Structure 1
Amino acid sequence: MAFERVFRKFLPRGLFARSLLIILLPVLLLEAVVLQVFYGSHLSIVSRRFAFSIAGEIAFTLDQLDHSPDPAQQWRIMHDVQQQFQLAMAFDPGARLQHGKTVNIFGPMDDDLSSALAQHLGKPFTADWISNPDFVIVSVQQQNGVVHVDIPRKRLWAGSLLMFAFWVFGTSVLLVVVASLFLRIQVRGIRRLARAAESFGMGRDRGPIRPEGAREVRRAAVAFNRMQERIKRFLSQRTDMLAGVSHDLRTPLTRLRLTLAMLPKTPELQPDIVDMTTDVEEMERMISGYLAFARGEGEEKTEITNLSALLEEVVGGARRAGARITLHGRQDLVLLLRPDAIRRALANLVDNARRHAPHVAVGVAYLSANMVEVTVDDDGPGIAPDRLEAVFRPFESGEASGGHGLGLTIARDIVRAHGGEIVLSRSPLGGLRAGVRLPV
């Protein structure tokens, strides 16, 4: 389980990255195997053979020089070696070998040559790989001086290791690039489907999406288009039914209002008429609330909306109704919204606050780069922490939920349809804070 958690922690989250990783890991493994076979087997074997051959030639030449004290004969031996083996030799009489810092090069050639010279010569020596780009300079200590041998690098190279590495990694990079382009085309259909689903869930109907990509992705896009059409048809049928229900319910209420208006206003009946009229008006408000909740403001189209100006309208209406309310925050927030629905949700929150508190404060600001928050604060009694979720339930009794239990329910339904959320908490003013969070 611990290994699985670590594996998930470092595993890429996106489908594109995971698919690319599925291709990249086998390629890297193949490169490692090929490099090991070439470097560990072929290159090492050939390099050791070259190094031992050259070391043997140098050892044989030095042995001939030791047995030929005549300088003219020594010169002739070194001249013949240069002609036959391409090994240029020079003798520095009376010199002592200076041991410098060992510098390793890329590949096994330097180690193989040093090992071969140590095995064949049995004398102190140095190998200079960096002074001359065309030769490796080997200096060997003799009894009466130092012999310098210039070895052509091409005699030690089995091939260009850098060229081999470039070929291996270059073809791998080309493969990854081609795979990335191909995978991006395949993933693009999935991303488009995800964006369409997210937009549709937020009430931003952009119409059917064009199927593209692999067969399974196309089938998912076609299924999404069918689902989207069925949901639209269901909402349209429900809206038509609710319109009929609204008409049927309002007709008897209208008759009741007319009957109450025609009753004689005698002192004995006046209190009952007032109470009954109040009950009828309350029933009409309840029916309007029920229908608005069931309809969910779903028929309204989204459009570019100045949220700051919309808040000013809501606050202005509350002030005309007698509320003490202030507005602060940004004045330039423009979002893609259903303006009437958001106006209704914010008005519900402001009305709830002003009914229970003498002062209300409304603010708007960026909560993050992709989220805007509208806060409605009051200095009223607030709501107990254990009831913060209960007041959102439909038909929940209690004044805090809007009189007949649908004020906050309708508001949250509207906000969630926009891809946002309403969060209730304790206000800095001492009462309740309702935070409306909307995506940018």
Structure 2
Amino acid sequence: MSTYEESFERPRRLEDLSISLGRPERLPPLKRLLPRGFLGRSVLILLLPLVLLQVISAWVFYDRHYDTTTWRLAQGLAGDVEMMVRLLGSPEMPEERALALSQHIFWLRAEVVPGGQLGVSVEPRFGSILHERLETALMERLGPRFAIDTVSLPKDVQIQVNLGDSLLNLEVSRKRLFSVTTYIFLMWMVGSSIVLFVVAFLVMRIQVRAITRLAQAADSFGKGRDLPDFTPEGADEVRQAAAAFIQMRERIKRQIQQRTTMLAGVSHDLRTPLTRMKLELAMLRDAPEIASLKQDVQQMERMIEGYLAFARGEGGEETKLTFLADLVDRAVADARREGATVDLHMEQPVTLPLKPEAFRRCLSNLIANGARYGKLVSLRVGLRHGGVEILVDDDGPGIPQEQREEVFKPFVRLEDSRNPDTGGTGLGLSISRDVAHSHGGELTLSESPLGGLRARLWLPI
């Protein structure tokens, strides 16, 4: 692969094209986690307080309501267990009668095992408020002569009480130790939060859509495209910004139209005396003085055309979808008819929204600039960095790096680096960059692999 092809193919950073949006290349770790869009950040602003509120509410509920409710239910169950122990120990109450009362009144499934041995309490691996509160309540009522199991059965809790010569086994439903208001509260809290979040998200998306449409309208207008159906919408501040944009757009259009009208008059007024001068000079006999005057008139015509082309810009040309290959072929064909040697290479066909004549003038200026100061012009067109990249290289003397931005200023010619005998008014590169900017792109200069100057034109797709 040649040096030129390597230079064209190797990856380039975004800032090399001068199209960076001002975002830092490397962000701090915290900013990398944050959303970049306005909608994402707005949702985050809504979500963080909502989540914080849910966490605080859940903690307060868990620490206060749930803990207190579980403690009172455990105390009630411990009281029923103590009553059963007292009934079984009373000589006036038969054992069968006490067990029947346990089932029907206390909702305790009871069984007396003669000579049974008291087991060991079984508690959850990670602890449980239910186990702790029930164990504390039974300790207050019965002392250390009991054991509980809150793990083995999924729906019941097992309690064993040492009666001395026998063992009392009890099974009680977990519902007696658990309040359903816990689930109701959590479901209501989470459900209402989800509903509020969805409503807030939809409202924020509508507001962000208005801002997005305003940004798209401004971007389209900056690229020379118009949005006639754009109307202010959204919040008052967004409507105010949209109305200000519409007024600014109308003022700019009016200013451009007035300038174009004035330039048309200037063009007519200047060309009329020049035409008379050319006719009068043509009627005179040939002489060295007459030839010099004719050259001066021709130079004045070129200067006036250059000035008008720079001031006129793109005029009232409308943007339309254009097949880029046809436009490039026309510009190259025009340059070859003028005697330029142009090597063209296009990677793939691309269709873009362009102002055809303005963009063709931009390409023609770049090709003519390379042909004026070099013997060979190489033109490469390809897709790069999310857009179309056009490289125009020549083998001329080039431009020093510190002076490359100066040549984009109107009427500037670098006599030290370019041949002063060549024509031109110093407006070609200025016109080309203006056309590139009007299409949302960028035009930069750098050193060419051919030894001369490289003009890099980038357009967004």
Give me the TM-score of the superposition, normalised by structure 1: 0.86
RMSD (Å) for aligned C-alpha atoms: 3.0
Aligned with 2:437: secondary structure? helix
CA shift, 1:310, in A, is 1.0
1:218 deviates by: 2.7
Higher mean C-alpha deviation, range 92-101 or range 206-215 = 92-101
1:122-161 alignment runs, 5 A limit: 122-123=144-145, 125-129=147-151, 131-133=153-155, 135-139=156-160, 147-161=168-182
Structure 2's unaligned 5+ residue stretches are 1-27
Q: Which residue of 2 aligns with 1:404?
A: 425
Q: Which amino acid aligns with 1:346?
A: L
In structure 1, how many angstroms separate the alpha carbons of the residues matched to 2:279 and 2:460? Answer: 47
8 Å CA contact 1:95–1:144 kept in 2: the answer is no
State the structure with bigger RCO (CA 8 A, min sep 6), 1 or 2. 2
Query: Is residue 97–residue 146 contact of structure 1 (8 Å, CA) maintained in 2?
Result: no
Structure 2 distance, partners of 1:145, 1:351, is 112
Structure-1 separation of matches of 2:150 and 2:64: 26
Aligned match for 1:337, one of 354, 357, 361: 354
5+ residue gaps in structure 1?
Answer: none
CA distance 1:88–1:432, shift in 2 (3 Å):
same
Q: Is the 8 A contact 1:423 1:434 kept in 2?
A: yes
1:392 aligned onto 2:408? yes
SS in 1 for 2:105: helix
Name the aligned partner's letter for residue 59 of structure 2: Q
| Corresponding residue of 2:12 | none
* Residues 351-371 of structure 1 deviation map (CA, whole Å, 9 limit, x = unaligned): 1112222222211122223x2
2:82 counterpart of 1:45: no
1:279 alignment partner in structure 2:
296
Identity of aligned residues (%): 44
Q: Does structure 1 residue 357 correspond to structure 2 residue 378?
A: no
- For residues 30 and 263 of structure 1, do their structure 2 counterparts lie closer, same or farther at Cα, with a shift above 3 Å needed? same
Match of 1:372 among 377, 382, 388: 388
Give 4+ residue runs of structure 1 displaced > 6 Å after superposition: 5-9, 141-145, 399-402
1:355 aligned partner, one-letter code: R
Instruction: Check the 8 A contact 1:375/1:435 in 2, yes or no.
Output: yes
**Structure 1 residue 432: Cα displacement:** 1.8
- Give the length in aligned residue pairs: 427
Q: Which amino acid is 1:34 matched to?
A: S
Q: 342-351 vs 159-168, which deviates more?
A: 159-168
Q: Deviations over 1:396-420 (max 9, x none)?
A: 1236788321111000001101111
* Gap change, CA 1:139 and 1:325, over 3 Å in 2: farther
User: CA separation in 2, counterparts of 1:36 and 1:298?
Assistant: 68
Counterpart AA for 1:45: T
Equivalent positions of 1:238-317 (< 5 A) are 238-265=259-286, 269-270=287-288, 272-317=289-334
Q: CA deviation at 1:315?
A: 1.7
Structure 2 SS opposite 1:132: coil
- Larger deviation, residues 112-121 vs 224-233: 112-121
**Greater CA drift, 210-219 or 226-235:** 210-219
Match runs of 1:108-127 below 5 Å:
108-120=129-141, 121-123=143-145, 125-127=147-149
Deviation per CA, 1:162-210, whole angstroms, max 9, x where unpaired?
3321111111111111122222223322222221111111100122522
Q: Distance in 2 between the 1:197 and 1:85 partners?
A: 77
Quick one: which amino acid aligns to residue 197 of structure 1? A
**Partner of 2:338 in structure 1?**
321
TM-score under structure 2 normalisation? 0.83
Match of 2:159, SS state, is strand
Which deviates further from its counterpart, 31-40 or 421-430?
Answer: 31-40
1:389 aligned partner, one-letter code: E
User: 1:24 and 2:40 equivalent?
Assistant: no
Partner AA of 1:41 in structure 2: R
CA contact (8 A) 1:415 1:422 kept: yes
